[in-house]
Structure 1
Amino acid sequence: METEKCIVLKHIYKNFGEHQVLKDVSIEVPYGAIYGMLGPSGCGKTTTVKIIAGISEATSGDVLVVNEKMPNLELMGKVGYMAQSDALYGDLTARQNLEFFGQLYGIENVKLKLRIEEVIKVVNLYKDLDKAVSDFSGGMKRRLSLAMTILHEPKVLILDEPTVGIDPLLRKNIWNELYKMTESGVTILVTTHVMDEAEKCTHLSMMREGKLLATGTPAEIQVKAGAQNLEEAFVYFSSMDEEDEGQ
């Protein structure tokens, strides 16, 4: 029996005017997976995850998240979305930012205090909790954005380039936390252009110029390409795609 999927995209196309950004993108994300979307900047990863999060609508095709069609306002409380740009209030402290967003999510005060303690430890910002966000570095802002994304304990977590600007040791710790979340039933979709992060994913899609090149586990993709690593596999599938376009 086929495993039920948490996220399903069926033949997604997205146009901005006459420019086609996504071309027949279909993916299936199992429950409890860390599903990576790997590709260079401008390949369509961000557009894809915005459509999944319900922030943008596809020109055509179907999007299902936990068996519900997106966009769907009722699902927003179950989905955590971390954009590439940090949506933070610079004149507030980290704690005040978390309190504000926690109240928007309707988290009761006692629980909110506990959750703030928990998420701030995940991103190692405990010492900076009462510092103004305007004084944060870019990496610190990314970490706070991640804390805010997981604050309401979403069942689906969508992270767009979440570890850009974060030092390698903390990046490792964050990935460990992501694995722990999947063990408790959270499904995670993460975009990246970094090969070693792609290798950490349980499932993976490779994208280039709005199209999927390959899907599967990282190991399966390498085997399909006859490659020693994911970088070689990406080059292989990109060259195959160019050949198909040239025919």
Structure 2
Amino acid sequence: MVAKYKYMKHSTNQLTKILTAAEELFIKKGIQAVSFTEIASCCGITRSTLYRYFENKDEILWEIHHRKIGGYSSRLMEYYEQTNKTTYSRFQCFFHLLKHILCTAPHDLLFQSAFSHTYTRETMDMENGIYNHIFSPDEFRSGDMLRFLKGSLFHDGSVRPDLDPDEICAAAIHSGFGAVTALAQSPDRIIVRYHTDAVTLADVTFSLFLKAIKKEMPETDA
């Protein structure tokens, strides 16, 4: 069932308050440990009032994810429109997006980390479950990041010809998100231990990946 709030025209501030409070609870306590009643209590409202917006905890969880994915996809395409639209540039845009999230909203990464098991389970069967109730067919959906990185012609001369498209795109997604999530979890410890900051380490990590996939241009005689 589609979340009830989608049919409501008022209380936008209350909706934002609910989603913000729920996200903080999910990050702090873990998704399984948070109850529908606890979310209502944290917002200073009754369970019945919360029910006017959402049927259950899962709808709240997926709507938080839905909003974040919408923001990510919009920013990703903004980056991409400013490039020469090669395969290599798509990887640059993807890593630029991850760096932006790490810099501006590290809590997003902590939420997605907590959410990852639920996300994987629900998106295994694209025909059922809450996923298709929250995401419309024309929105950025599960698997679209992989399709974005592969493009319509992966081997366009901008990346190494020996790369397997599926493997390198999957590696970029999982290692990229894994890196920024780990960095978001312990930024203070990174400064103390390595005398540098999380964003610098992300830059180094992504630069090495990009260097490894870029097609080397043949040297020309001067």
* TM-score, shorter chain, exceeding 0.5: no
Q: Which has the higher contact order (CA 8 A, sep 6+)?
A: 1
Q: TM-score, normalised by structure 2?
A: 0.28
Q: Which is higher, the Rg of structure 1 or of structure 2?
A: 2
Q: Which structure shows the higher helix fraction? A: 2
Q: TM-score, normalised by structure 1?
A: 0.26
Q: Which structure shows the higher strand fraction? A: 1
